[in-house]
Amino acid sequence: MAPGDPSRPARLSVAVATPDSQRMHARGLAAWLTSAAPARARGEVALALISDARMRALNRAYRGKDYATDVLSFPVADDPVPGVRPRFLGDVVIASGVAARQARAAGHSVKTELRILALHGLLHLLGYDHETDEGQMARTEARLRRKAGLREGLIERESRPSKARR
């Protein structure tokens, strides 16, 4: 595909939807994610902060897990037109209550936690899968989070043994 090809978006565009109570935490999230994203991230992403109850319902419906998880990604179908990346990459949803609890547990702001979760969700939209890719997503997430000034990433945090398991 040639540079400047209209079928390939020039850069990443992020739209954020938030309930009024979360608007302050999400301020600047779209711009931050656009700047933190890997260079190959091109297209549109919808990012929504949702209630834990709604996240639980989505997690149950799409993953068969009956709890509110922190972030889910819903990519569009892979290459609906061979060789042409879709303009709309997909949706990222973040459970606002889970994010707030994780921020408290990690000792950082909700704004920081939303950044960690948004970056993680975006990488899933780009095709990364930390459960099957032998560390590729973890390495990419670590590189991007360092570049963007985040102390830790979701994969890194999830891979540490918890106090309950020690």
Q: Summarize pLDDT for 27-78 with one digit per residue, the tens.
A: 789 999 999 999 889 889 999 999 999 999 999 999 999 999 999 999 986 5
Residue identified by tokens 């890719």 is 133
Least confident of 60-69, 71-80, 96-105, 140-149: 71-80
Residue identified by tokens 């301020």 is 27
Does the pLDDT of residue 164 top 60, yes or no? Answer: no
pLDDT score at 161: 58
Measured between alpha carbons, how far is 136 from 128 in angstroms, rounded to an integer? 8
**Contact between 69 and 59 (Cβ < 8 Å):** yes
pLDDT score at 73: 96
For residues 73-101, give the mean pLDDT.
82
Opening angle at CA 80, ends 76 and 84, nearest 5 = 100
Measured between alpha carbons, how far is 158 from 166 in angstroms, rounded to an integer? 14
Residue 82's φ and ψ, nearest 5 degrees, are -50, 130
> For the chain, how many residues are written?
166
**Both tokens assigned to 77:** 């179908």
Query: Domains of the chain, with CATH numbers?
Result: 12-156 (3.40.390.30)
pLDDT score at 57: 97
For residues 5-28, give the mean pLDDT.
71
Question: With bands split at pLDDT 50, 70 and 90, how would you rate the model's confidence at 85?
Answer: low
